[in-house]
Structure 1
Amino acid sequence: MFPVPDPEALALLSHDRSHRSHKLLAASAFGLVLAVVAGTSPAVAGPVAGTAPAISAAPGTLAPGVTYREFARPTGGAEIPLHLVEVDLRNPLVTVDLITAGAVAARAPISVQADSRQAIAAVNGDFFNISNTQPGVEVTGSAVGPAISGGDDLKAAVPNGQRFGPGLPPGTSTSDVLGVGVDRVGRLARVDLRGTVSAGRERFPVTGFNQYALPVGGVGVFDSDWGSVSRKRPTCGTDTDRAAACSTETYEVSVRHGRVTRTGTEPGAGAIARDTVVLVGREQGAQTLRRFAVGDRVRVDYDLVPEGPIPFRFAVGGFPILRDGEPLAGLDARTAAIRTAAGVSADGRRLYLLAVDGAGPGLTILDLALTLRELGAASGVNLDGGGSTTLVTRAVADPAVAVRNHPSGGVERPVPNGIGVFSRLSR
């Protein structure tokens, strides 16, 4: 039984996805402020699976409904420092949304993304296209999974074999997300792309949307949210091998106001106008697009469809590690690393944003799931970690966020997106 949406939810339910709002975030210089975790963590043995976290500091209130605290998870001889932002989604003064670097194919430090949107807290989000093996192909920096911000669909998921990050647990996919619905309830769900291209009596499916890797033989849609990065990378690799060569059979078609305005054999680059979509095909998809000529009438429809009847207000890709209060089968219990996670309570009314501090050896994925559970989460996802792990906060009266963890690389890594927390009391 889903809760009845509030008036804001009803407005979003009637939102026309064909008129997507492209929210460009200002890129500005930033000052990196590190909040030092008390003490220096010595080298320790790997974490002990199943050990409950010990809270070592009282939570501090950032705003009504939002708290931040540091705590330590006991290990085989010491403690692993972690950072937690807890959000009461029932509080009408609090909202949560996906923050971005201004385009799907763009990156910026989380502190910059948070300050651009005046967030009071944020953590980094999804894994992303951080490197390529194909010579001369531009790295897009775009995320692996689906992304929804402010109720607007930004991108769909790449094929499983094209993802970055640790291996997926059995039964999960790149289409899995954690998000908050227009009913203000957090949940795990799968978000799939549904789309078609229609020309006269011909109809064929859209298999990609603003993503750095298209399925073999498919056709992808790119709109103004993509950014200006080259669209070559989406035609590289295969559904099972990210490092495979780029396709030798590609085709691109630009459609403006329902008519073809340009065609070409190679994927292009540069910003896409708001009234234009670009179709990129590879293999069979390229053969299909070759049928179009400049002036042809074409209709392009595409949408992200979540499980269940309630649309997401925001959603971020991440592979599930905790579901219905239980860690998923097959989680890595041996490799400790710096990690980021997000979880929701059983009723979906509390959100947990967790960052492992880079000053310690980190946690295994299994211990990450157990930590989320001990904190109160019933479901959760593993987000990008390592040098990407960043958690920032500020009080509502402060002008800018401060980085609360020690990033493992010494400075913030630019990332494509994150989870931002907002207070209506914030200036």
Structure 2
Amino acid sequence: MAWSALAGATLVGAAPATGVQRTRTIAPGIQYSQYEISVAKRVARAHVLSLDLRDARVRVRLLYPGAVAARATVSRLAAAQGAVAGINGDFFHISETQHPGVAVTGSADGPAIANGHTLKAAVPDGQRFGPALPRGATTKDVLGVGTDRTARLDRLTLSGSVTTAQGRLPLGGFNQYALPQGSIGAYTSDWGGVSRARATCGTDTLRSAPCSADTYEVTIRGGRVVATADRPGSGPIAAGTTVLVGREAGARQLRKLFKGQPVQVRHRLVAASSRVSYLFALGGFPVLRHGTPLSGLDDTTSTLRTAVGIGDGGHRLLLLALDGAPGYRGGLTLAEVAAVLSKLGATDGFNLDGGGSTTLVARAPGASAATVRNHPSGGAERPVANGIGVFSVS
């Protein structure tokens, strides 16, 4: 692989690059670089994809394994969808030791949109599986690219309802592994075949709280109730079918429904900051806004990180993944990630799942598929819930 030196190797005053930055073009408008960062007696190796969204040949799409409640490695996801590069995405439900017997779903914490299609909404803040959120952040925060081909940070909130002859009920969840207490959630074929029981476990503030004993499930097909059950079920959901899962007050409302009754379910994600429709969006949390790091970012815990920077008025994306080789596992703190993204030219920064999930793949010249470029800390790729795919079209 041929590399060329780039000017301006110093990234930030507190974290200068110690090695010569190297880069190559993967496809028009898409570059892959790597360099070393020295900070606080640690050295981290960064792998970065730089995307020019002004180039009409560059596309950014959600990588996911065809179902919300599923996992796959980034390289497998990229190969399946024909991506030339990509990184891992949102934090996700990876273990369930606190609720024995409840299936592990692999579902992501935050909202997800793929090719303009809404896949899921966000779990309650207190139920997420990622690290503590920075002050003011929420599971509803997303990185998105709109129909205007501009990247931005935003917040996507679920707006939905279940309407019957008796009235309208609010929808509290959509294809997510945890529902707010007392709510009703809707599940579609996008969910997959994993049991929906985990959605009724925990509380809005305590993930490890027991599963609810007061649950109910209703299946809607063709706009009418076709089945009911006392507990959430499992198995694939047919296209055109919606399964409603209720807990506590939500379950009591669903028990009023009966087979053959007309029911209409509506759901959409409402953006807080943009009126432009999103073609792609996934969850995580912000670390940099309008050129300023978020207040109170952790500056003591260093680990492997995956992050995204937005620059050039939303027309450039920087996808960053740290290397997990033994000599580089010291990683970066969140405060250092924000500083590095800023020096690279980002005005906004978004942190994704890190540690053993951190993976960056890129296609070599002449290769048929993208392969892993960093060293995953576990020695092999970890299957993840979703990722960011980079595509080149002619």
Q: 1:43 is matched with which residue?
A: none
Q: 1:315 is matched with which residue?
A: 281
Report the Cα distance in structure 2 between the residues aligned to 1:93 and 1:116, rounded to whole angstroms.
Answer: 19
Report the Cα distance in structure 1 between the residues aligned to 2:342 and 2:113, rounded to whole angstroms.
Answer: 26
- Tell me, yes or no, if structure 1 residue 333 matches structure 2 residue 299: yes
Q: Helix, strand or coil: the match of 2:313?
A: coil
- What is the CA-CA distance between 1:78 and the residue it aligns to? 5.2
- What is the CA-CA distance between 1:51 and the residue it aligns to? 2.4
Runs of 4+ in 1 over 3 A off after TM superposition: 52-55
Structure 1 unmatched ranges of 5 or more: 1-34, 36-47
Q: 1:419 is matched with which residue?
A: 388
Report the Cα distance in structure 1 between the residues aligned to 2:41 and 2:256, rounded to whole angstroms.
Answer: 66
Which moved further from structure 2: 73-82 or 247-256?
Answer: 73-82
Which residue, out of 116, 119, 135, partners 1:151? Answer: 116
Q: How does 1:191-206 map to 2 (within 5 A)?
A: 191-206=156-171
Which moved further from structure 2: 354-363 or 211-220?
Answer: 354-363
Report the Cα distance in structure 2 between the residues aligned to 1:300 and 1:356, rounded to whole angstroms.
Answer: 43
Q: 2:218 is matched with which residue?
A: 253
Alignment-mate amino acid for residue 197 of structure 1: V
Task: Encode CA deviations 1:42-71: one digit per residue, 9 max, x unaligned.
Answer: xxxxxx984244562332000000000111
Tell me how large the CA RMSD over aligned residues is.
Answer: 1.7
- What is the CA-CA distance between 1:282 and the residue it aligns to? 0.2
Which residue, out of 48, 52, 63, partners 1:99? Answer: 63
Which residue, out of 72, 80, 89, partners 1:108? Answer: 72
Compared CA separation, residues 396 and 235, structure 1 to 2 (3 A): farther
- What is the CA-CA distance between 1:345 and the residue it aligns to? 0.8
Which residue, out of 236, 240, 245, partners 2:201? Answer: 236
Q: 2:4 is matched with which residue?
A: none
Report the Cα distance in structure 2 between the residues aligned to 1:376 and 1:312, rounded to whole angstroms.
Answer: 24
Q: Helix, strand or coil: the match of 1:72?
A: strand
Q: 1:16 is matched with which residue?
A: none
Compared CA separation, residues 291 and 383, structure 1 to 2 (3 A): same
Residues 96 and 422 in structure 1, CA contact (< 8 A), matched pair in contact too: yes
Q: 2:6 is matched with which residue?
A: none
Give the alignment's TM-score, normalised by structure 2. 0.94
Task: Encode CA deviations 1:125-177: one digit per residue, 9 max, x unaligned.
Answer: 00000111101100111000000010000000000000112211111100000
- What is the CA-CA distance between 1:397 and the residue it aligns to? 3.7
Compared CA separation, residues 223 and 49, structure 1 to 2 (3 A): farther
Q: How does 1:24-423 map to 2 (within 5 A)?
A: 50-53=14-17, 56-77=20-41, 79-132=43-96, 133-307=98-272, 308-359=274-325, 360=328, 361-395=330-364, 397-423=366-392
Residues 16 and 39 in structure 2, CA contact (< 8 A), matched pair in contact too: no
Report the Cα distance in structure 1 between the residues aligned to 2:16 and 2:347, rounded to whole angstroms.
Answer: 15
Residues 235 and 247 in structure 1, CA contact (< 8 A), matched pair in contact too: yes
- What is the CA-CA distance between 1:327 and the residue it aligns to? 0.8
Q: 1:26 is matched with which residue?
A: none
Report the Cα distance in structure 2 between the residues aligned to 1:402 and 1:85, rounded to whole angstroms.
Answer: 14
Residues 55 and 70 in structure 1, CA contact (< 8 A), matched pair in contact too: no
Residues 120 and 396 in structure 1, CA contact (< 8 A), matched pair in contact too: no
Q: Helix, strand or coil: the match of 1:190?
A: strand
Task: Encode CA deviations 1:352-371: one digit per residue, 9 max, x unaligned.
Answer: 10001112111011101111
Residues 140 and 212 in structure 1, CA contact (< 8 A), matched pair in contact too: yes
Alignment-mate amino acid for residue 170 of structure 1: R
Report the Cα distance in structure 1 between the residues aligned to 2:40 and 2:229, rounded to whole angstroms.
Answer: 60
Compared CA separation, residues 321 and 162, structure 1 to 2 (3 A): same
Structure 2 unmatched ranges of 5 or more: 2-11
Alignment-mate amino acid for residue 386 of structure 2: N
Task: Encode CA deviations 1:251-300: one digit per residue, 9 max, x unaligned.
Answer: 00000010000000000000001110000000000000000011000000
Alignment-mate amino acid for residue 355 of structure 1: A
Residues 291 and 347 in structure 2, CA contact (< 8 A), matched pair in contact too: yes
Task: Encode CA deviations 1:354-411: one digit per residue, 9 max, x unaligned.
Answer: 0011121110111011111111111111100111000000046421111000000000
Report the Cα distance in structure 1 between the residues aligned to 2:200 and 2:133, rounded to whole angstroms.
Answer: 23
Which moved further from structure 2: 345-354 or 71-80?
Answer: 71-80
Report the Cα distance in structure 1 between the residues aligned to 2:37 and 2:129, rounded to whole angstroms.
Answer: 27
Residues 52 and 371 in structure 1, CA contact (< 8 A), matched pair in contact too: no
Give the alignment's TM-score, normalised by structure 1. 0.87
Compared CA separation, residues 78 and 337, structure 1 to 2 (3 A): closer
Q: How many residues align?
A: 381
Q: Structure 1 or 2: larger strand share?
A: 2
Report the Cα distance in structure 1 between the residues aligned to 2:72 and 2:180, rounded to whole angstroms.
Answer: 27
